[in-house]
Structure 1
Amino acid sequence: MPGIFLPDDDATAALGAALAAELAPGDLVLLQGDLGAGKTALARAIIRALADDPALDVPSPTFALVQPYDTPRGAVLHADLYRLGDPREVDELGLLDNPDAIVLVEWAERSPEITAAATLVVALTMPPGGDGRNAVLTRR
């Protein structure tokens, strides 16, 4: 699939809303990219759209590892595996425990189990010059 150029935060929020509209219970979305590529910003936009609350506080799960949300569309889990010490620790997070949850995972490459379970991969990169970001979506 060709890349999508996101020139600013509004474009990222619009992509998040469009993705949220297509997500179904059981979807596991990998958000890939370097530090600062916009993974958390996109996750925040998706969660706010799923919750139908544009002002919802959506903190980064970097230290908590997982932030759960109850939304009109069902359970949503937002995980950041950056601080995961060992891939086996992912079992303790319960990301795959609820087959109806929508799960968004940053730094999923730290867990082959999570990577293998993905239904959508969103790869974010910053173009030369650092203005905006590029997104490539791959359905599995």
Structure 2
Amino acid sequence: MTVQRVAGGHPLIVKNIAWHGEDATADFARALASHPAIGRALIELQGDLGAGKTTFVRHLLKSLGVEGRIKSPTYAVVEPYTLPDAGQNGGMNIWHFDFYRFNDPREWEEAGFRDIFAATGLKLVEWPEKAGAHLPQPDLLLRLEVLPDETRAVTLTAHTPTGAELLA
């Protein structure tokens, strides 16, 4: 793990891990879901098609208590969830975005997402680069890469104190 200082003086933390199969992905999602900071985080997921972004999100949402089918927002662009008022994460608002189909970053603004990103809750964003500079800085960035043996090499970058808390 390396620690650098970025604007504002908070640490930029980079950590490299590997997911050797879907069980490892689920284990990481459960660990992340256990942090109280998850309810106020913006998490970006980057990686090629098939890297495991949506699979990770499904495991995370299940770990947080989302019940029922968890759909990919590839066509809808966003899937919202609200946890009931029970347990550690009770009452949490969650939004799962997929900007893969954006052709122009201005589509983010035109879709009216500014209010959602200003609201309290967990935001999970696949293909954030398609929204350009419109997105706020993420608390945590997960960059996934599929290795020849199907292992996922995951680079975790905490850009904020909330992101650092999630990696603790």
TM exceeds 0.5?
yes
Larger radius of gyration: 2
Does the Cα contact within 8 Å between 2:47 and 2:145 map onto a contact in 1?
A: yes
SS at structure 2 position matched to 1:82: coil
Amino acid of the structure 2 residue aligned with 1:134: A
1:29 alignment partner in structure 2: 43
- Do the aligned partners of 1:6 and 1:135 also contact (CA within 8 Å) in 2? yes
1:109 — aligned with what? 129
Letter in 2 for 1:135: V
Unaligned runs of 5+ in 2: 1-13, 84-89, 160-168
Task: Determine if the alignment matches structure 1 residue 69 to structure 2 residue 81.
Answer: yes
> Which residue of structure 2 lines up, in the alignment, with residue 136 of structure 1?
155
Q: Percent identity?
A: 34
How many Å separate the matches in 1 of 2:130 and 2:40?
21
Q: Could you say which residue in structure 2 is the equivalent of 1:48? A: 62
Q: Is the 8 A contact 1:121 1:137 kept in 2?
A: yes
SS at match of 1:117: coil
Q: Contact 1:77–1:95 (CA<8 Å) still a contact in 2?
A: no
Aligned residues of 1:125 and 1:134 also touching (Cα < 8 A): yes
Shifted more, 95-104 versus 35-44: the winner is 95-104
Deviation at 1:33, TM superposition (A): 0.5
Distance of 1:68 and 1:62 partners within structure 2: 13
| TM-score of the pair, normalised by structure 2 | 0.74
Query: Hey, what's the Cα distance between the residues in 1 that align with 2:146 and 2:115?
Result: 30
Whether the 8 Å CA contact 1:126–1:132 is kept in 2: the answer is yes
Query: Following the alignment from structure 1 to structure 2, what is the Cα–Cα distance between the partners of residues 11 and 87?
Result: 33
12-21 vs 93-102, which moves further? 93-102
For residue 15 of structure 2, give the secondary structure of its aligned residue in structure 1: coil
In the TM superposition, residue 130 of structure 1 has moved relative to its aligned partner by 3.8
Q: Structure 2: how far apart are the matches of 1:136 and 1:113? A: 23
Alpha-carbon distance in 2 for matches of 1:20, 1:135? 17
Matching residue within 108, 111, 118 for 2:138? 118
SS in 2 for 1:68: strand
Alpha-carbon offset, residue 95 of structure 1: 5.8
Counterpart of 2:143 in 1: which secondary structure? strand
Corresponding residue SS for 2:38: coil
Report how many aligned residue pairs link the two structures. 136
1:12 paired to 2:25: yes
Residues 39, 93 of structure 1: alpha-carbon distance in 2 compared, 3 angstrom cutoff: farther
